[in-house]
Structure 1
Amino acid sequence: MRNYVIFDFDGTLADSRTVFISAWNALADKFKFRKISREDLSSLRKLSIFERMKYLNFPIVKTPFILPDFYRFFRKYSKEISLYPKIKEMLDLLERKGYNIVILSSNSEDVIKDVLQRNSVKNVKKIMSSKAIFGKDQMIRQFLKDHQLKTSEVIYVGDEQRDILACQGAGVKIIWVSWGYDGKELVLEQNPDYLVDSPEEIVEVVLQHTRDEM
């Protein structure tokens, strides 16, 4: 049995809140968005993505127009993005246990590679960059097809409601992490398969998932 763990990046492996807020506010005047502060994040975590868009005065149809500017900003300030504590140790342990590590993110591949390199993370087999807010389910299905994998051979780790919906659409199990962009009050409505509060718990759940599927 071949086992893969697919990770979301921002909010799951990496803390990019500071860069996100700076990027958002830098573009707010240009696109007429509502600016945000770090203190706003706790209330935003309780809102769905569509509720956030309404609060921030951001029509979702503008996504293709703003993403290039976001990518440029993230590239410029990628040095300010850091891995959460214990993430590298968790990834190293999963590799030692025989798991293949993949990243699927809306962030750009070059930014992800820079953060991984600075933190001496060398065990990521593949990075997939999604250019859309939604559509991760299609990328997961394509990944399964390309690698001839059963859904039972893959588990996903993410922090957002849209991650849960994507995994449900693709038929793979998901571990939701509590330290990311979406709050527990929001994601409980989507019934994630597993909920964890620390990177150490991710390893425990992945191992248990493998035993359950054997």
Structure 2
Amino acid sequence: MVVVGVSTFAYSSVTEENFENVKTGHLPKTWKSAATNAERTTAVWEVVETKEPFRGKKVLSLSAFDEGYGGSFNLCYTNDVSFKDGEISVWFKANNGKIDQGGGIMWRVQDKDTYYVARFNPLEDNFRFYSVINGDRKKLYSADVHLEKGWHLMKIIQKGSHFEGFLNGKKLLSYDNDAIKKSGGVGVWTKADAATSFDDFTVKDDK
């Protein structure tokens, strides 16, 4: 496969998780839930059967969270896929949240406190890149964008220190940062009480 822009190379491996073969109430094998800056309990992630099937009957959802604290980041990721350069995409739907809404993709995950994240927030109408280093989140790049309620496709492309962010096929973010140089895990991310569903998580890796 050959794509355009920073990804003008053939991907050596493709990993897909559509959650259809995962037992309801569980996570895919090798995936785990964690939190950055949690004050009390870690949020609960699980595969659920959706009442409004979109691309399949099952999705990954944040089902319980710490309602009293807005500074925690809810993580669900796997280290079984070691990602450095390539492309990651996921369909997402912001369900609700009073403090925060939305979420996105995390990659080059070193541990629960160090990773990159791209996220969309419908309360703020923006799409952003962040680095999280030892629990400290730093905004790298932001674009104003409004999305209607429902399912949307997010994608990031990374090669070396350069990465780009897309929503529904439109490139909105482009940035260079080398704070995290090593390959790492991949997954999904929300903040505070942002209850979000994810589906068709796909990693195209340039090993």
Per the normalisation by structure 2, the TM-score is 0.29
- Flag the structure with higher helix content: 1
Per the normalisation by structure 1, the TM-score is 0.29
Q: Which has the larger radius of gyration?
A: 1
Q: Which has the higher contact order (CA 8 A, sep 6+)?
A: 2
- Flag the structure with higher strand content: 2
